[in-house]
Amino acid sequence: MEGIIVFLFGIITAALPFLFIGLFVILFFAVLLFFGINIAKKMVKERNESIEYCNKNGLTFEDTMTASFPSECKNCKITKKGKQRDFYYVVSGKRDNVYFSVMTYKYSDNEPPRESTFLGMKVISKPNRKYQKPDYFATLCFLSVDGLNMPHFFIRDESFITDSLGKLFGGQDINFEEDPEFSKKFVLQGDNEGEIRRFFNSKVRSSFVKFHQKGFVYEGVGRHLFVYTPNSYSKIEQKMQFFADSLKFLPALIPSDNENLL
């Protein structure tokens, strides 16, 4: 009898590390499941709140963006981040003479799936998950105003170290000697420097200095303006506040002889 007890005790002692490892694994996956369920519930709740808000305020909601950006925007940098990108939870509408869409912007540097044909069958090959890079989530506001006519420009925060190095290698930054505050704060780029200089008069520059929020990136062309923030706003109240912040720049972009556009 004593031998059996010793034998059983030895088995239990030997098995304890494996039991602890098993319990740890179960606990780990239980925690992941808990957070996964709560994140899913949160996303469903925020989606339903967005739909309800849009229905009450005459706006439209799309789970994914169905339309493409206008052809004038085909060379815009903002919409070409990463190698794969998606625009979803899109809230669209019109305020006065401004057409707008505010959306969640997801992008990554992963190679997109590749399609090929083998023996007459379509084969889709995906990159090795081992080398997958993380996804980035941001928020994008797209504004259009009939009658507005802007040269193609791109403007973002200036980083002293990286942009100083960039200029050594030919990086573009359109500066204004008469406005050192604006020039130190922003990097301004575009194909037609002369048109951009004429468009960015003191009124426009002052507006960007006054209303700019750190991390915001702007790109305009024709009657269209993109405003990008690296912050991922999932709640409808946050998206509409971002839209309101984006609108603050528009009055300065309207020519003085056509101020009735807004």
What would the pLDDT profile of 165-205 be if each residue is shown by its tens digit?
666 556 678 889 999 999 889 999 998 999 999 999 999 99
pLDDT attached to residue 166: 63
Do residues 52 and 88 both lie within one domain? no
What's the pLDDT tens digit per position in 231-260? Answer: 888 899 999 999 999 998 888 888 765 556
Do residues 247 and 119 both lie within one domain? yes
Do residues 15 and 111 both lie within one domain? no
pLDDT attached to residue 15: 62
Do residues 78 and 175 both lie within one domain? yes
pLDDT attached to residue 181: 92
pLDDT attached to residue 97: 87
Do residues 69 and 41 both lie within one domain? no
pLDDT attached to residue 46: 85
Query: Chain-wide mean pLDDT for the chain?
Result: 82
Do residues 143 and 236 both lie within one domain? yes
129 vs 219: which has the higher pLDDT: 219
172 vs 105: which has the higher pLDDT: 105
Give the least confident one: 24-28, 54-58, 87-91, 98-102: 24-28
Do residues 16 and 135 both lie within one domain? no
pLDDT attached to residue 152: 96
Domains contained in the chain, number = 2
Do residues 50 and 67 both lie within one domain? no
List the domain range (segments joined by +) for residue 45. Answer: 1-58
Flag whether pLDDT at 85 surpasses 80. Answer: yes
80 vs 262: which has the higher pLDDT: 80
C-alpha span between 105 and 138 (Å, rounded): 5
pLDDT attached to residue 258: 59
